[in-house]
Every structure is written in C-alpha cells, then in structure tokens.
C-alpha cells in the first residue's frame, strides 16, 4: 500500500520522537549510574582505608609490646625503636579512623573504647620501661606479670576485630552495589542503543518505501500519452516537490539520528574513563586485602563491561554507516543538474584510465567500441553512473579468468543506449531487481560496501530522464543497459510547499 505524505510525516516524526525519548532516558540513566558508580567506588576505597588503618593499629600495638619485651630482656635501647615508632603513629591513625567513621555512632563508640584501651596499654608499657630505665627491672617484670598489659591488649584486639568485621561487611556491601550498578548500566546502555538502532532502521524503511512509491508514480507519469503533456507537466511538478520533500525529510531523519549516536559514543567514552579509574584502583589493591566480592567486581570491570561497550560501538558504527548512506543520497537528490555538451568518449577514456591498473592486475582489458555519441547532459552525474558500473565490474570479477569489460553505444532515435558488459561472477535471476534497492546486495558478501552503489546509479539515471536494466547469468557475466535522452531537459524550479 503506497505511503501518503501525512502518514510518512507522522511515522517519521513518531520514530524521531521515540528515538529522542530513548536517548534522553539512556543519557539520564548513564549519568545517574555513572555518578552512582563513582560514589560506590569512593565508598569501597573508604572502607578499604578503614580496614587498612585498623590492621595497622593492631600491628603498631604488637610492635610496641615487642619493643617493650625486648628492652626488658636485654636493656638494649635499640629495642625501643619499634615502641617509639608505634607511639608516634598510633595516635594519628586512631584520629584518622574517627574521621572516617564520624557518621556511624556504633563505630565511634568502638573507637572511643579503643582509644581508652590503647591509652591503658601504653600507660602500662611506659611504666615498665621507665622502671627498667631506672634500673628496677624486677619491678618492671612484676608489673608485666600482673596481667594488666595482657588484659589491655586482649581488649584492644577484641575492639579491633569488631572494627575489622564491620569494615569487611561494609566493603562487601559497597562492592556488591558497585557490581550491580555496573551490570544495570551495561544493560540499560545496550538496550537503549539497540532501540535507537531499530528505530533508525524503521525510519530508513519508511524513507525507502516512500521513495520507491514516488519513483513508481513518476514512471507512470512519463508513460502518459503526449496529448496529455500539460497534465504530465503538472504531475511532474508535483513529483518534483514530493522528491524534494523526501530529500528534506531524509536529511532531517539522518541528521537528528546522528545526535543520539554522538551522545551514546560520548557517554561510552566517559564510561570507559570511569572503568579505567576503577580498574587502576583494583590493580593497586594489595593482594592480601582482596576478597571474593572484590574479585567479582574486578572481573566485571575488566571483562564484562568492555565487552558491552564493544557491542555498543559496533552497533553505533553500523548505524553511522546507514545514516551516511542516506545523507549521500539526499545530497545528490538536492543537487541541481547542469546540462552541458559532453563528449562521452572522453568520459569513458578518463574512467577507464582510473581503473586500468586494477584491470591489468587481473590480467584483463577494457574494450571501448567507437564511435560514441555527444550528449547534452550533466557531466558529474554521467561520471558517477558509469564510474560505479565500471567499479562494480572490477570488484565482482571472476578470479578464475582474465577480466574483460566491453562498452558500446546503441542508437535509439531521440535517446541513446549504452551497454557495459563483463565476464564476472554474474547475478542470480531472482536478484536482478533486488540489487537496485537501497542497502540490498546479492551473492557472496566478500566485498566491502553498504549496498548503495546501484541504488545511487538508478536514482541518477532516472534524474537524467533515463532507465537502467541488466542481463546477467551466474558464472557467465553481466551486461548493464542504460538508456538516456540525447538532450537533458532543463530542470524546473521547485516551489517549497
């Protein structure tokens, strides 16, 4: 069923609106989840810092006690070095723990208990060392045997164990939150990119179908009886306006779809930067401080998320190629044709020279059968039409035999026909019409391309008032036949509706 102007506009605007809405949702989700990931990373770092400092406080207490025992046994002042170092460092470490835990009343209570216990322990250590330095070693040892120091140390160990347990619980919770957020971010981004890609394909389908309907209508107008020339002229004007509208909407669709792609790629780059930051953090973690949750998060950051980002980039690149194809067709459709006298033999000589090195590499030849006509037509359009056909002959040559391309002109009264034949792979019969459709290709897909070359050729031929057909057989070769008017009619100026 033909697509009307109103339904085309409504469908296009609906798809654009849906695409923009999805972009807003994906962008908002990406920003929110990225911020959440940064917050979780900061929480993980803070919990790890608490755990590290708590372990260090315990180590400093043990160093201090070891230094005291060594001094009491040997009277060697060198044994007091660990004790002095621990005494200097343990106070600032406890204060830093209080700063990190200021928002947790239970943790603050444990730290207050720890401060008191540590003070008691160092009071006992100070007393025994002072007695030993005064020469009263026996009294110092008796004080040690009184178990006061052991009780203080046991109380400190218990408090520090509680602090470490709470820090581990917090670290696991923060790590799980960060992992969950990363999974959700990957899922939301992939789904959003997929939906944008689907809506883009839907827009392309509408544009192509609408264009095909308009081209069919123009062909019908051209077949009317010459006695209806005035009516034909009116319909031609309407078609020109419709084609201009198609080009305008094709440009709008492709231009507005590029903005979501740019934003998706931008947010993907930001996500890669955030992942790199978290990745460096995990790489710098001491091996003894990691646990199962941290290892799972590390695996997500190093493997799962880069894979998801790779999928997003591949989909976005494919979408960008489709948009560029629409833009190319749109620009060519808006270009004003400039009729001028064209020596067709001169054009073919230039085009043949451009591909001669490729033909020579294939052990082939190009045969241009003269004489060739002179046309009043658009030179650039002719170069693009026959340049594409010659490029196709080279690209799809049969690798098992030397390439041979033959070009000749056929007189058709007020028109002139051109035949471009080759002995390449050939095209299956069921694909003879399909290869002229936008983004459609036939045979083995072992050559680069987006499937716009022959669609572009047919659009140009028809703009020149001509037609193109082909004859082909698999394994034998292909002959394209292009029929063009000898004199290109001057383009009528279109009026914006």
Q: How confident is the model at residue 196 (pLDDT cuts 50, 70, 90)?
A: confident
CA angle, 224 then 229 then 233, to 5°: 100
User: Looking at residue 322, what is its pLDDT?
Assistant: 59
What are the boundaries of each domain within the chain?
Answer: 339-485
212-226 pLDDT, tens per residue? 877 777 777 677 655
Which helix (H) or strand (E) segment is 294 a member of?
helix 292-299
More confident residue, 380 or 2: 380
Residue 382 reports pLDDT greater than 90:
yes
CATH number of 339-485: 3.30.565.10
pLDDT of 429 > 50? The answer is: yes
Residue 66's closest CA among 147, 143, 129?
A: 129
Distance separating alpha carbons of residues 214 and 195, to the nearest angstrom: 29
Average pLDDT, the chain: 76
Alpha-carbon span 272 to 277, nearest angstrom: 9
For residue 239, the tally of other CB atoms under 10 A from its CB is 19
pLDDT by residue (tens digit) across 358-372?
888 888 899 999 999
- State pTM to two decimals: 0.40
- DSSP three-state, residue 375: strand
Q: What pLDDT, on the 0 to 100 scale, is given for residue 482?
A: 94
Can you give the C-alpha Rg of the chain in angstroms? 40
Question: For 110-165, how does the pLDDT look when each residue is reduced to its tens digit (9 = 90+)?
Answer: 777 777 888 777 887 888 888 888 888 787 787 777 777 777 778 777 877 777 77
- Residue 52 has which token pair? 């590290």
pLDDT digits (tens, 9 = 90+) for 75-123: 888 878 887 888 888 878 877 777 776 667 777 777 777 778 887 778 8
- Rounded CA-CA distance 454/457 in Å is 5
């Amino acid at each position: 069923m033909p697509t009307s102007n109103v339904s085309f506009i409504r469908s296009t605007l609906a798809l654009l609106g849906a695409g923009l809405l999805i972009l807003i949702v994906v962008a908002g989700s990406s920003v929110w989840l990225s911020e959440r990931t940064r917050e979780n990373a900061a929480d993980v770092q803070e919990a790890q810092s608490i755990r590290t400092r708590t372990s260090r406080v315990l180590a400093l207490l043990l160093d201090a006690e070891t230094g005291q025992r060594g001094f009491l046994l040997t009277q060697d002042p060198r044994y007091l070095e660990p004790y002095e170092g621990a005494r200097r460092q343990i106070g600032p470490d406890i204060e830093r723990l209080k700063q990190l835990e200021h928002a947790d009343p239970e943790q603050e209570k444990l730290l207050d208990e720890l401060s008191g216990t540590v003070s008691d322990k160092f009071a006992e250590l100070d007393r025994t060392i002072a007695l030993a330095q005064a020469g009263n070693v026996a009294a110092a040892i008796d004080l040690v045997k009184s178990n006061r120091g052991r009780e203080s140390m046991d109380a400190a160990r218990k408090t520090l164990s509680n602090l470490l347990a709470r820090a581990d619980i917090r670290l696991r919770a923060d790590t799980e939150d960060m992992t969950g957020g990363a999974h959700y971010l990957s899922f939301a981004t992939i789904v959003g990119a997929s939906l944008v890609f689907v809506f883009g394909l839907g827009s392309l389908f509408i544009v192509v179908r609408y264009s095909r309907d308009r081209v069919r209508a123009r062909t019908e107008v051209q077949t009317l009886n010459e006695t209806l020339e005035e009516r034909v002229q009116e319909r031609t004007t309407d078609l020109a306006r419709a084609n201009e509208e198609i080009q305008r909407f094709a440009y709008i669709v492709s231009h507005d779809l590029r903005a979501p792609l740019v934003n998706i790629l931008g947010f993907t780059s930001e996500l890669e930067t955030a992942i790199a930051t978290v990745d460096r953090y995990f790489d710098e973690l001491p091996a003894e401080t990691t646990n199962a949750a941290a290892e799972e998060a590390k695996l997500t950051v190093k493997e799962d998320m880069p894979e998801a980002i790779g999928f997003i980039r591949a989909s976005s690149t494919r979408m960008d190629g489709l948009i560029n194809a629409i833009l190319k067709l749109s620009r060519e459709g808006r270009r004003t044709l400039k009729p001028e006298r064209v020596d067709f033999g001169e054009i073919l000589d230039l085009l043949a020279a451009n591909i001669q090195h490729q033909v020579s590499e294939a052990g082939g030849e190009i045969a241009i059968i003269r004489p060739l006509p002179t046309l009043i037509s658009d030179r650039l359009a002719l170069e693009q039409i026959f340049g594409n056909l010659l490029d196709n002959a080279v690209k799809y040559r049969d690798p098992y035999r030397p390439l041979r391309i033959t070009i000749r002109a056929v007189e058709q009264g007020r028109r002139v026909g051109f035949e471009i034949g080759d002995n390449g792979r050939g095209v299956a019969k069921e694909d003879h019409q399909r290869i002229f459709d936008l983004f459609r290709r036939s045979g083995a897909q072992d050559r680069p391309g987006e499937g716009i070359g022959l669609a572009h050729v047919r659009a140009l031929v028809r703009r020149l008032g001509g037609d193109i057909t082909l004859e082909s057989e698999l394994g034998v070769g292909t002959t394209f036949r292009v029929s063009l008017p000898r004199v290109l009619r001057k383009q009528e100026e279109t009026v914006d509706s």
